[in-house]
Structure 1
């Protein structure tokens, strides 16, 4: 499957496997994400998400 960029990680907490992502496209629980940066390159399945501390199953871009 071809990869596409869906957002940018603004903060990542490795000890928790938690990231704050500024989305440019939709993301949902169960999606596999590829994290690639200066010192990281790995894939992970999205197991949970929150927006403002509220659990959600899907997040969409808030682009205008």
Structure 2
């Protein structure tokens, strides 16, 4: 499996476990597998819930700021990679 950088963490809201991700390229959809990587962050999780301005969405495009539910702590400037299968 390969990874494409798709975004960067802009903020993290610990009480609700949500990462605000600035999508930098491509798109992120519900069901995608994302790899969060930073100085002290390194985990992979499926996108199960995402919102733009508190409205549920199925997909976010480059340039969007999207809130994604995460199971672990992330930090500002952590990189977000989309895990993709290549033939």
| Class of the TM-score when normalised by the shorter of the 2 chains | 0.7 to 0.9
Gapped regions of structure 2 (runs ≥ 5): 65-87
In the TM superposition, what whole-angstrom CA distance separates every residue of 1:15-45 from its partner, at most 9, and x where no partner exists? 5431000101200000000001111100000
Aligned length: 63
Gapped regions of structure 1 (runs ≥ 5): none
Give the alignment's TM-score, normalised by structure 1: 0.86
Relative to total residues, which structure has the larger strand share, 1 or 2?
A: 2
CA distance in 1, matches of 2:38, 2:16: 17
Greater relative CO (CA pairs within 8 A, separation 6+):
2
CA spacing shift, 1:43–1:27, aligned 2, 3 Å: same
Corresponding residue for 2:57? 56
Q: CA-atom RMSD, angstroms?
A: 1.7
